[in-house]
Structure 1
Amino acid sequence: MAKQPTKKTETKSFEQSLWDTATALRGNLEPSEYKYPVLALIFLKYVGDAFTIQRDKLIADGHGSVAEQPFAYTKDNVFYLPEESRWSYLQQHSKQEDISLKIDTALALIEKSNEALRGALPDNLFSRLQIENASLSALIDAVNNIDTTSSEDVIGRVYEYFLANFAANEGKKGGEFYTPNSIVNLIAEMIEPYSGKIYDPCCGSGGMFVQSLKFIENHQGNKKDISVYGQEFTATTFKLAKMNLAIRGISANLGEAPRDTLKNDQHLDLKADYIMANPPFNIDKWRGEDELLDDARWAGYEVPPVGNANYAWLLHMISKLSVNGTAGIVLANGSMSTSTKGELAIRKQILENDLVDCIVNLPSQLFYGTQIPACIWFLSKNKKRKADNTGKTLFIDAREIGYMKGRVLRDFTAEDIAKVAQTYHNWRDGENYEDIAGFCKSSELEEIKKHDYVLTPGRYVGAAEEEDDGIPFEEKMADLTAKLGEQFAQSAKLENDIKANLKGLGYEF
């Protein structure tokens, strides 16, 4: 098992301090609501600092005459801010009684002035929530301490930290919009989204897209080589995603509005090179009994049953893959073995069509909001890569990797992620791959058929081989027998002592 990595106390202290200030709002708001004003203020601080830096640069370069012209900012991917929406203005008026109204006005002005943010920012949020002025003023002061110029990604790091903590503190409801970094990182490292179209049909707060960008930057790629497409059902989460992507400088097409992807697909003609998704687990009644029966996404397959949407998500994403597309999809473990009418038939069809590239069984306790065991399906439209894996599926049992980050949450180290990703890459590329008992196995379709099309990795990888310590069996048994004799003697002595004590108290057996 991997060792727990050393914590960076310096970064943790800064973020924790900001978090502690933010949690003071919990006295005023419901737990599910207080994340929105906090994240909105972090967003305002980021765009305000970016605007000020650009404005100062324009003036320093002798272009002060255009310092109040929107084009002088948008040409460099900086949001133009009218005076009343700038962070300096809000910070200056933070002690006034109408600060809630001023913040709402600032958000409305920013959205009106920047087409890319249409529909992204909260509407009358602060006025509606009626936050106490003292709490709001303290929060503005805390957010003001974020130095967005010290590191290119400091605001993104803070935003991500808050999303994770909101999810952890809100349980199931909070976890719905946030996929833990350990899982997102693993998917990105495995499918390697360097260039092309990236799609997430249930994008939550946009974590899959953010990690794709990080992957590209970490591998010296160019974020201009990717196009981002997504969709989200919940209106407030849709706005969180837009803000999250905006502060990272990621331009994305998330559809015209929040919509249910399975019932109202806003990217009908999309063919994606990479799909990264964590759809909600085991959703029932996702369509009416007579709805979507002739949908083009199920062409060539059984119609996904009403009782569980897992296979509807699978078929939706298969329909979105380009001819060389790859997908990493997080699903409940039941998806690997269900024999429910319709689901088993679809799984057989997917396998017969040779689309299942790899299955990774995940350890427990990775998610904030659910204890449902999970796995990742990796699908591929083209298995003829460096190595021709036509008709083969790689199974990886990763249930024993990771470390406990706290009492209830497990995480992966960089080494854990590298181990799983490199195993997949070696198999995919035909370089230095070998089956490892208890961990990974490359299986032909004929073998999968013998297991009734069940995809649980444990069926294939077997048990891990125990290391031989070189001690002969007879010697081990002699040692164990001697220890057992000592324990029996100690037990007998303890029994006699207890009887003697009881006798002294007048209680004799």
Structure 2
Amino acid sequence: MTDQKQQLEQQLWNIANTLRGKMDADDFRDYILGFIFYKYLSKKMELYANEILEADGITFADVEGHEQEAELLEALKDAALDKLGYFLAPSELFSELARRGNAGGKNQFILGDLSKVLTHIEQSTMGSDSEDDFGNLFEDIDLTSSKLGKSENDKNELIVKVLSHLDQIDFDLQNTESDILGDAYEYLIGQFASGAGKKAGEFYTPQQVSKVLSKIVTVGKDQLKSVYDPTCGSGSLLLRVANEVEHVAGFFGQEMNPTTYNLCRMNMIMHDVHYNSFDIKNEDTLEKPQHEDLRFEAIVANPPFSAKWSASPLFMSDDRFSAYGKLAPSSKADFAFVQHMIYQLADNGTMAIVLPHGVLFRGAAEGHIRKFLIKDRNYLDAVIGLPANIFYGTSIPTAILVFKKDRKNKDKILFIDASAHFEKVKTQNYLREADINKIADTYKTYTCHAEQSEEAHEAIDKYSYVASLSEIQENDYNLNIPRYVDTFEEEEPVDLTAVSANLKQLDQDMKQVDHTIADFCKQLDINTPF
């Protein structure tokens, strides 16, 4: 299965690289991912329709032109809208468009038909329960864009090539035990993110970090009622949480960027998450929260580091912020995201958020909020320092803050310093599987052994430390990790006798060199330099 997955990933990435030509990678991402999604929808529609029609002894391809075409299409549409959330006619399938584009052995003009099909997919959901989940999904695929080519024929030629190459790849959707296409889609998103520079942080959290966050919020659980990400990007973090448990009943997220919001919904559907099981919104989370009435069992986030926000005084009457007495500064929204997430956290839930190190020690309003969270609420459960340079587009070191409303370790906070545990690959640092597991296992031990003896909380030398709340109070609620985890490496003692002997030997050697130089100068009948 691993070989098959890797082969599919490489095939898709090769197509992306070969066919994008001079187009910017960010722009081509929207086209290639959109067309992969279109093929996925087509294949799912075809497989489901064939399953329904099997009893009638016909296939989906036989419906158009059948004497009962209208009745069959109407029945299939009703069933598909309920099961899949959308509908495609046989003539609208990906394979059919790819075939028409290559009819007669040369490129045929299909841009108009393709545009109509993509629009019809969205229109087919109007008035149904899935309308919000499929609306405007393909709006970033602009088939009239000059980026595809100078002339209409140039644009058509590129699109036909893309469809033809994708049509030759088997997505293996018949295999219900496998999700290799979903994984390959994730792989492509990650590959595009790695070359996107600072823009990458807008839509993708590296899988290594996603794994750490996911393992932490699922400790002790094999099922989750809900998981929420207030800055969900492409949805990779939400989906990664699902990999750590047997079942997640509901996925919730909010994303400000419309293009990334579309990518997230596609990613959910590509991972076979039913449209009734996810609720992704396109709005600014801090300014216009969309899930205020809900509380979530697991919350994960990698918000934009030190982003700006309005910090409007009106928020002092907002239930998310009012209890703290102060707002996060307008120049740094880090703690605003923390406050928002804590407000949405269920009493039995766990939240994990990645933030820049400044949140651990900055003063003023942030210091006040940090103290309130620890002293007045006692919600902070762990602080985990990550290596620098593991995120795309920034090299700054970061930390994971873990919060719970019902903490077992009520008088302690775990500190982990994982900053030196990584592998360097080219210019990027990566958490290895062993590094990820060490973080997760250390936190799990701390959580699951909360009621055991103090020995269960012993520090791992130069890696972790369980601090008492009184220690943190003595440090004026400064959470800077080196204050708690001692990573100091003692230098080996200096042998002064050996040093003295070496100096004497050097002195003798220098005298011998001086003597040799003086001898050469005498032979050359010139003055010595000393």
Q: Is the 8 A contact 2:201 2:304 kept in 1?
A: no
What are the Cα deviations for residues 37-91 of structure 1, in whole angstroms up to 9, with x where unaligned?
0100110121222222223333334475886412433554475322343111121
Higher deviation after alignment, 196-205 or 128-137: 128-137
Partner of 2:421: 401
Where 1:360 maps in the other structure, the secondary structure is strand
Q: Is the 8 A contact 2:459 2:466 kept in 1?
A: yes
* Structure 2 CA distance for partners of 1:436 and 1:70, relative to 1, 3 Å: same
CA–CA separation in structure 2 for the residues paired with 1:191 and 1:172: 27
Q: Does 1:55 align with 2:74?
A: no
Q: Does 1:101 align with 2:112?
A: yes
* Structure 2 CA distance for partners of 1:62 and 1:351, relative to 1, 3 Å: same
Aligned partner of 2:294 among 263, 266, 270: 270
Report sequence identity in percent.
28
Partner of 2:369: 346
Q: Is the 8 A contact 1:359 1:377 kept in 2?
A: yes
CA–CA separation in structure 1 for the residues paired with 2:381 and 2:517: 63
CA–CA separation in structure 1 for the residues paired with 2:322 and 2:300: 22
Where 2:395 maps in the other structure, the secondary structure is coil
| Deviation for aligned residue 1:14 | 4.4
CA–CA separation in structure 1 for the residues paired with 2:467 and 2:89: 61
Partner of 1:35: 29
Structure 2 portions without partners, runs of 5+: 64-70, 149-154
Partner of 1:246: 269
Structure with greater contact order relative to length (CA < 8 Å, sep ≥ 6): 1
| Structure with the greater alpha carbon radius of gyration | 2
Aligned partner of 2:164 among 119, 141, 148: 141
Higher deviation after alignment, 136-145 or 162-171: 136-145
Q: Is the 8 A contact 2:310 2:330 kept in 1?
A: yes
Partner of 1:311: 335
Q: Does 1:376 align with 2:400?
A: yes
CA–CA separation in structure 1 for the residues paired with 2:77 and 2:484: 60
- Within 5 Å, which residues of 2 pair with 1:50-199? 50-62=44-56, 64=58, 68=73, 69-74=76-81, 76-77=83-84, 79-95=86-102, 96-114=107-125, 115=128, 116=130, 117-123=133-139, 125-130=141-146, 131=148, 132-149=155-172, 152-192=178-218, 194-199=223-228
Partner of 1:5: none
* Structure 2 CA distance for partners of 1:298 and 1:290, relative to 1, 3 Å: closer
Q: Is the 8 A contact 1:77 1:249 kept in 2?
A: no
Where 1:126 maps in the other structure, the secondary structure is coil
* Structure 2 CA distance for partners of 1:264 and 1:12, relative to 1, 3 Å: same
Q: Is the 8 A contact 1:365 1:371 kept in 2?
A: yes
CA–CA separation in structure 2 for the residues paired with 1:467 and 1:369: 35
Partner of 1:391: 411
| Deviation for aligned residue 1:28 | 4.6
Partner of 2:384: 360
CA–CA separation in structure 2 for the residues paired with 1:266 and 1:498: 84
| Deviation for aligned residue 1:145 | 3.4
CA–CA separation in structure 2 for the residues paired with 1:195 and 1:454: 33
CA–CA separation in structure 2 for the residues paired with 1:495 and 1:233: 75
Higher deviation after alignment, 191-200 or 38-47: 191-200
Partner of 1:412: 431
Q: Does 1:320 align with 2:339?
A: no
CA–CA separation in structure 2 for the residues paired with 1:496 and 1:15: 71
Partner of 1:4: none
Q: Is the 8 A contact 1:232 1:254 kept in 2?
A: no
* Structure 2 CA distance for partners of 1:258 and 1:428, relative to 1, 3 Å: same
What are the Cα deviations for residues 74-122 of structure 1, in whole angstroms up to 9, with x where unaligned?
5544753223431111211234453333332222212222353432512
CA–CA separation in structure 1 for the residues paired with 2:354 and 2:428: 17
Partner of 2:318: 295
* Structure 2 CA distance for partners of 1:380 and 1:467, relative to 1, 3 Å: farther
Q: Does 1:437 align with 2:448?
A: no
Aligned partner of 2:477 among 448, 453, 475: 453
Where 2:33 maps in the other structure, the secondary structure is helix
CA–CA separation in structure 2 for the residues paired with 1:493 and 1:106: 90
How many residues are treated as equivalent by the alignment? 480
* Structure 2 CA distance for partners of 1:488 and 1:118, relative to 1, 3 Å: farther
- Within 5 Å, which residues of 2 pair with 1:453-492? 453-463=477-487
TM-score of the pair, normalised by structure 1 = 0.84
Where 2:299 maps in the other structure, the secondary structure is strand
What are the Cα deviations for residues 197-239 of structure 1, in whole angstroms up to 9, with x where unaligned?
21111100001111022222xxxx134xx21111100011000
| Deviation for aligned residue 1:248 | 0.9
Instruction: Give the AA of the match of 2:45.
Output: F
Structure 1 portions without partners, runs of 5+: 1-7
What are the Cα deviations for residues 300-319 of structure 1, in whole angstroms up to 9, with x where unaligned?
10222212101111111111
Higher deviation after alignment, 229-238 or 157-166: 157-166
* Structure 2 CA distance for partners of 1:347 and 1:99, relative to 1, 3 Å: same
Instruction: Give the AA of the match of 1:105.
Output: K
* Structure 2 CA distance for partners of 1:382 and 1:83, relative to 1, 3 Å: same
| Deviation for aligned residue 1:456 | 2.1
TM-score of the pair, normalised by structure 2 = 0.81
Where 1:296 maps in the other structure, the secondary structure is coil
Aligned partner of 2:244 among 215, 219, 238: 215
What RMSD, in angstroms, separates the aligned Cα atoms of the two structures?
A: 3.5
Q: Does 1:18 align with 2:43?
A: no
Q: Is the 8 A contact 1:271 1:322 kept in 2?
A: yes
